[in-house]
Amino acid sequence: AYEQVLAIRREQLRHLGLTFYREPLLMYRGHRQWLWAADGSRFLDFFGGIVTVSVGHSHPRVLEAMRRQTETLAHTTSIYMTSAVHQYVQRLSRLFPQPLSVVFLVNSGSEANDLAMLLARVHTGNFDLITLRGGYHGGVSSTMGLTSIGSWKFNVAHGFGCHATMCPDVYRGPWGGSHCRDSPIQALRQCTCPPGGCEAGDRYVEDLRDVLQCSVSKHLAAIIAEPIQGVGGVVQYPRGFLQAASELVRERGGLYISDEVQTGFGRLGSHYWGFQAHGVTPDIVTMAKGIGNGFPMAAVVTTPEVAESFSEALHFNTFGGNPVAGAVGTAVLDVIEDEGLQMNSECLGKRMMEGLAVLRDQYEIVGDVRGKGLMIGMEMVRDKGRREPLVMAEVNEIWEDCRQMGLLVGKGGLYNQTFRITPPMCITEADVDFALSVFHVALHRHSV
Ligand code: PMP
């Protein structure tokens, strides 16, 4: 099997124009929270295809819905309506507070955010966008301008100054402002709450006010934010910050876009959508990943007012809103509801957090554990007091150790120093306990 993996990787280098597929594993089967590699080894998947497998790999009800719809009618383009799509958008829109009720169907999170930017700009007649440092909003060139986390900023990494080329009207605030070098905001890259506690959120709001004051235009199209930053390392904002930020932006004519690509569909446990925890109803919500449990689909939900101002615009894509996506989307919503997966996220997220807190107290290299429901981060540090990130090679060793013991987790954060724990929401108590025991062994080995 190893020879086969090597052969495939050699082949990838020749024909696959992607920088990913970095792992030396050839996966061939998935079932619920489990993955099997070609050599027969089994893994507990605590990353869920990057927060995407929401109800479990190859869930029978999702597969059945997909099969039935594919056999009946797989594609029409969005010229012709189908009952699968009609049923889905009705169902999805009911999950939002009023006035969020109009659904646009697209294919990926990047495309959803690209459309959200366009909707906000067309609706407000303004161009400028505010995005937050550490945020990730996509990999197409428009959303790369919004994305503000290290190596993901292709444009910056390759010397195209973001402000100069791809996104001339994106302001990074407050995290990105060079004026805030010593601001508590810098601390956010390493910890949940700033050292001053959550009240320091007021200072963040002041920083945002500064950014707005300094920006060339006084008119905004929108602010975009993840309720909890995912790729950024499971970073939570101080209480009240997003609400205050949305008010500042709305005062300048802008909209509030909530990027729920990772945080939606019950993953956070206590709330179905991340914005609900921040006391602010967005004007636009974008979603992807968990929406299709691995099937490529995404959506934007907005108000009739915003949608109306877009009615003259020509917006079209070939696959968005195809009937199979409609059927899959409905099945995913059914499973989340029928299997009580939101509640499972809440309960097992708590169990996981409690276990991780014990590890944090036990091991010097665990600097912080944080998150909500089944979106959890465990930050690795080399100096607990100063929260200096653990060097990447050591983080990778621990990660590799976990994998050798059968546990797959993700990584994120500015220095890739935070393990990301985002399993399918169907995991059990035994899975949580197994993951904790694997972490325990791996951390112990790296602490002696
Ligand atoms: N927004 C967020 C919060 C994301 O995490 C991602 C993907 N990591 C995206 C947008 C982009 O989604 P996609 O990869 O489906 O284009």
Q: Name which residue leads in pLDDT, 338 or 132.
A: 338
Specify whether the CB–CB gap between 283 and 255 falls below 8 A. Answer: yes
Q: What is the ipTM metric for this complex?
A: 0.99
Check pLDDT > 60 for residue 178. no
The predicted structure's pLDDT at residue 214: 67
Is the Cβ atom of 230 under 6 angstroms away from ligand 1?
Answer: yes
The predicted structure's pLDDT at residue 168: 42
Q: Could you tell me the CA-to-CA distances from 164 to 159, 169, 171, 224, 376 in Å, in that order?
A: 10, 9, 12, 20, 36
Q: What is the pLDDT of residues 22-76, one digit of tens each?
A: 666 788 999 999 999 988 999 999 999 999 999 999 999 999 999 999 999 999 9
Mutate to test the pocket of ligand 1, among 51, 237, 273, 289 (most ligand atoms within 8 A of CB): 289
Of all atoms in ligand 1, which is nearest to the CA of residue 296? 15
Q: What is the pLDDT of residues 360-412, one digit of tens each?
A: 999 999 999 999 999 999 999 998 888 788 999 999 999 999 999 999 999 99
> Sign of the CA dihedral 12, 14, 17, 19?
positive
Looking at every residue in the chain, the average pLDDT score rounds to 85
Distance from the Cα of residue 236 to its chain's centroid = 12
Nearest alpha carbon to residue 106 among 129, 136, 138:
138
Specify whether the CB–CB gap between 411 and 374 falls below 8 A. Answer: no
Is the Cβ atom of 231 under 6 angstroms away from ligand 1?
Answer: yes
Is the Cβ atom of 113 under 6 angstroms away from ligand 1?
Answer: yes
The predicted structure's pLDDT at residue 418: 94
Q: Report phi then psi at 317, rounded to 5.
A: -145, 150
The DSSP bridge partners found for residue 34 are 31, 44
Is the Cβ atom of 142 under 6 angstroms away from ligand 1?
Answer: no
Is the Cβ atom of 412 under 6 angstroms away from ligand 1?
Answer: no
Is the Cβ atom of 344 under 6 angstroms away from ligand 1?
Answer: no
